[in-house]
Amino acid sequence: MELVKPDIGLLFWMTLSFGILIFLLGKFAWKPILGALDERERSIQESLDMAKKAREEMAQLKSGHERLLAEARAERDTILKEARIAREQMISEAKAKAQAEAGDIISRAKEEIHNQKMAAIIELQNQVATMSVDIAERILRHELKDTEKQKALVAGYLKDVSLN
């Protein structure tokens, strides 16, 4: 196989065509293409700058958001702490009030028991005294039917009184 050997004329015309093409491209196409490339580069740079700015703003918003979250958490903790303290205070006040009322009820009950006991003792003493008088009266009636027994009883009492 034989390789294609270009002729000098062909090379001349190809070089001339290529030169004209380069000249025409340089005159009419390079400037708009370079301008479009520059415009494209500028728009890409602006997009990158805007993305960087947006990223910075997002970082600021994120830090602001985190700060707000931290403040909200702190406020929530404060509210919970205050609620816990109020609950404990209410419980302690209720316990103290219940203990005071229980103490009052117990003291009134003890006083009532003491009064009932004293009334029962007095009633028992009155009944014992009444029964003693009744028994003594029955014994004396039975014993004093006879005059001799009366004289002996009086003598015995006088003897006891003189000894005391």
Residue 31 in this model has a pLDDT that exceeds 60: yes
Question: What's the CA gap between 73 and 67, in Å, rounded?
Answer: 10
Say which DSSP state 146 is in: S
Cβ contacts of 98-107, under 8 Å, gap ≥ 24: none
Residue spans of the domains in the chain: they are 8-163
- pLDDT value of position 74: 94
Average pLDDT over residues 59-74: 91
Q: Residue 133 is inside which H or E element, if any?
A: helix 30-143
- pLDDT value of position 1: 54
- pLDDT value of position 143: 66
pLDDT grade for 9, boundaries at 50, 70 and 90: confident
- pLDDT value of position 137: 79
Question: What's the CA gap between 47 and 54, in Å, rounded?
Answer: 10
pTM: predicted TM-score of the whole model, two decimal places? 0.40
Average pLDDT over residues 17-23: 93
Contact indicator for 117, 123 with CB cutoff of 8 Å: no
Residue 88 in this model has a pLDDT that exceeds 80: yes
- pLDDT value of position 39: 93
Residue showing tokens 């003792």: 121
Average pLDDT over residues 48-64: 92
Residue 158 in this model has a pLDDT that exceeds 60: yes
**Both tokens of residue 68?**
């707000």
Burial 44-72 (b: 16+ CB within 10 A, else e): eeeeeeeeeeeeeeeeeeeeeeeeeeeee
- pLDDT value of position 118: 94
Polymer length of the chain? 164
Q: Percentage of the chain surpassing pLDDT 70? A: 94
